[in-house]
Amino acid sequence: MEQLKSTPLTSHHRALGSLMAPFGGWDMPIQYEGIIAEHRACREQAALFDICHMGEFIFSGDFVKDGLEDVFTFSVASIPVGRSRYGFLLNETGGIIDDLIVFRLADDKAMIVVNAATADNDFEVIKGRLTGGGIANVTAVTGKLDLQGPLSREVMSRLFEPSVCNLPYFKFTTAKVLGFEAIVSRTGYTGELGFEIFIPEAKIPELWEMILADDRVKPAGLGSRDILRLEVGYSLYGSDLSEQITPLEAGLDSFVNFDKNFIGKDALLKQKTEGLTRIKVPFRVASRRSPRHDYRIMKDGADVGVVTSGAFSPMLGCGIGIGFVSPQMAAPGTLLTIVHDKVSMDAEVCQLPFFKEGSLRN
Whole-Å CA distances, 37 to 4, 45, 109, 149: 27, 11, 40, 13
Segments of the chain with pLDDT less than 70: 1-2
Report the pLDDT value the prediction gives residue 82, as an integer from 0 to 100. Answer: 98
**227 and 281 assigned to the same domain:** no
**180 and 45 assigned to the same domain:** yes
Whole-Å CA distances, 42 to 152, 183, 214, 254, 359: 9, 22, 14, 28, 10
- 67 assigned to some structural domain: no
Angle at 67 between CA 62 and CA 71, to 5 degrees: 125
Q: What percent of the chain has pLDDT over 70?
A: 99
**305: domain CATH number?**
2.40.30.110
Chosen domain end from 231, 265, 293: 231
For 126, list phi and psi in degrees, rounded to 5.
-65, -45
Chosen domain end from 196, 213, 231: 231
Residues ≥6 apart with Cβ < 8 Å to 323: 280, 281, 283, 291, 297, 305, 306, 307, 308, 309
Report the pLDDT value the prediction gives residue 360, as an integer from 0 to 100. Answer: 94
Chosen domain end from 211, 231, 251: 231
Q: 316: domain range?
A: 277-349
**325 and 223 assigned to the same domain:** no
**197 and 307 assigned to the same domain:** no
Report the pLDDT value the prediction gives residue 77, as an integer from 0 to 100. Answer: 98
**174 and 37 assigned to the same domain:** yes
Report the pLDDT value the prediction gives residue 1, as an integer from 0 to 100. Answer: 54
Tally of structural domains, the chain:
2
**223: domain CATH number?**
3.30.1360.120
- 122 assigned to some structural domain: no
Rounded Cα distance, 358 and 193, in Å? 8
pLDDT in tens, 190-231: 999 999 999 999 999 999 999 999 999 999 999 999 999 999
**24 and 156 assigned to the same domain:** yes
Rounded Cα distance, 291 and 316, in Å? 14
Residues ≥6 apart with Cβ < 8 Å to 288: 312, 317, 318, 319
Whole-Å CA distances, 294 to 219, 245, 308, 322: 30, 15, 6, 11
**281 and 342 assigned to the same domain:** yes
Whole-Å CA distances, 168 to 114, 164, 360: 22, 9, 10
- 35 assigned to some structural domain: yes
Partners of 135 in the beta sheet? 59
